[in-house]
Amino acid sequence: MHLIPLVLALVSVITATPAPREWRDGIRDVYIDGRLERTAQTLSTSSPRMVAVVCGEEVLLLDPEKQSVARAAKAAFEFNADRTKATSGELPQEAAGTLVRSGTTYLASVGGKTILVAPHQSKAGSMTIDELWETAPVWRAIADHYQPDGALVERLRKIDQPVTLEVVLATWCGDSRQHVPRLLKSIATAGNPNISVELIGIDAEFLQPMDVIAGRNITNVPTVIVKDGGRELGRMIETPANATVEDDVCDIIAGTPKRHPGRMERGALLSSGTYLLRDARRRTVGTEVFELYEKPGGGHVAHSVISKRDGSTIETWASPASVEVTTRAAKMIRTRYRRDGENWTAIQRGANGILEQAVAAPAAFVSPATVTYTWARDAANVFVVPEQGLGSIGAPAVRVGEGMVPKVVKLADGSTRTLLTRP
């Protein structure tokens, strides 16, 4: 007779218990009364958006919606081993100070102290490992708790030629945080005197040090350049082709680097083949090898590599809402386009630093990948992604053959792309 009330009471307790709140590390610069405090860690969470500033055993909870600051004990947070994530239960709601927000900068006043939380300024130029750990203490925690694969460590130990790894990174970069501390731990574990490491930081504007960005042709970070003396053997750009950067490094030194599988999620391969590219005078100017995949959730993903007779290449990954174009000529330029609601945004990195663009999004787009012209076949106007540059919106002046993979495409300048082979 008393079982039902007991069950209802238990259900009520379970229902009233909030789910743990998840927090993620995001490096910011924290100034306390005007002094930069490198040991302070910042975490963020959503729904609602909040920022936690961990200072010693105390945590300041910044609530931009309420424009308030609350205090909590560090013990209220449960951190994972490498300190990149944390969870918390119910946290204090009583305001302990005031908060002013401007963009991604927060100014708090708590207990007579002023706390400024500002975007992180990465050290630009050469740095030692100790300087890296000092700039980004969480990176050291990542390295300390990383257990390298024993087989990879053995591969590193067996390298019998002097090589230098130029590691170009940014402490504001998530991919750098993901890969660089683990690479450094693997190299330290191997303890091979034939492997030396040089660390070079890039600033947030991707402009300094310009001699490194332009001279070494840096478009993304991290970039790991493997050198034998002054000769470059190969490089890893942003994310490895293997599971780890150290695996890529070993493959480059062995002369067997793997092709990067690409960063776009994709399903089954639908078609592949080769186009012959001719200019308006019917002269062959290059070829294009392409692959067309299903996109999970609908649509397609196109991968294309155009090889010109002058030795330059244009590689494209494209889906209906995201495009990446990498031009490799005398210098490498990488441009990423993303549809964000009613707009297209473009960010280009290369010898001139970072260029940005935002335009109102039309119904469709075309890219250097030939098959994307079919995606815009019936559009009144399109966003045109060029081989170089940022792009523009205009009416399509292109004749496109029938089918998902057209046999012939004729561009406005009179040049043509003709399908040569197809499985």
Report yes or no: 331 and 317 within 8 Å, Cβ to Cβ: no
Question: What was the pLDDT predicted at 293?
Answer: 96
Q: Where in the chain is the domain with CATH 3.40.30.10?
A: 125-254
Question: What was the pLDDT predicted at 52?
Answer: 95
- In the 3-class helix/strand/coil scheme, how is the chain assigned residue by residue? CCHHHHHHHHHHHHHHCCCCEEEEECCEEEEECCEECCCCEEEEECCCCEEEEEECCEEEEEECCCCEEEEEEHHHEEECCCCCEEEECCCCCCCCEEEEEECCEEEEEECCEEEEEEECCCCCEEECHHHHHHHCHHHHHHHHHCCCCHHHHHHHHCCCCCEEEEEEECCCCHHHHHHHHHHHHHHHHHCCCCEEEEEEECCCCCCCCHHHHHHCCCCCCCEEEEEECCEEEEEEECCCCCCCHHHHHHHHHHCCCCCCCCCCCCCCEEEEEEEEEECCCCCEEEEEEEEEEECCCCCEEEEEEEEECCCCEEEEEEECCEEEEEEECCCEEEEEEEEECCEEEEEEEECCEEEEEEEECCCEEECCCHHHHHHHCCCCCEEECCCCCCCEEECCCCEECCCCCCCEEECCCCCEEEEEECC
Helix (H, G, I), strand (E, B) or coil at 372: helix
Q: How many CA atoms lie within 13 A of 105 on its CB side?
A: 8
From 199, 174, 181, select the one nearest 246 (Cα to Cα): 181
Question: What was the pLDDT predicted at 248?
Answer: 97
Report yes or no: 360 and 342 within 8 Å, Cβ to Cβ: yes
Torsion of CA 226, 228, 231, 236, to 10 degrees: -10
Question: What was the pLDDT predicted at 273?
Answer: 95
d(CA 235, CA 223): 7
Per-residue pLDDT of the chain (423 residues; tens, 9 = 90+): 455 554 444 444 444 456 789 999 999 999 999 999 999 999 999 888 999 999 999 999 999 988 999 999 999 999 999 999 999 988 887 889 999 999 889 999 998 999 999 999 888 999 999 999 999 999 999 999 999 999 999 999 999 999 999 999 999 999 999 999 999 999 999 999 999 999 999 998 888 998 998 888 898 999 999 999 889 999 999 999 999 999 999 999 999 999 999 888 999 999 999 999 999 999 999 999 999 999 998 899 999 999 999 999 999 999 988 999 999 988 889 999 998 888 888 898 876 677 888 888 787 889 999 999 999 888 888 888 888 878 888 777 789 989 999 999 999 889 999 999 765
Question: What was the pLDDT predicted at 13?
Answer: 45
Q: Containing H/E element for 155?
A: helix 150-157
d(CA 140, CA 128): 13
Read off the pTM.
0.83
Distances (CA, A) of 172 to 28, 222, 333: 8, 11, 21
Question: What was the pLDDT predicted at 3?
Answer: 53
Report yes or no: 69 and 51 within 8 Å, Cβ to Cβ: no
Residue written as token pair 């244009």: 314
At 244, give phi and psi (nearest 5°).
Answer: -135, 160
Distances (CA, A) of 82 to 27, 60, 177: 14, 21, 11
Q: Name the amino acid, one letter, at 202.
A: I
Question: What was the pLDDT predicted at 353?
Answer: 73
Q: Does domain 125-254 have CATH number 3.40.30.10?
A: yes
Residue 107 makes CB contacts below 8 A (sequence gap 6+) with 99, 100, 101, 114, 115, 116, 117
The H helix count followed by the E strand count for the chain is 7, 31
Question: What was the pLDDT predicted at 161?
Answer: 95
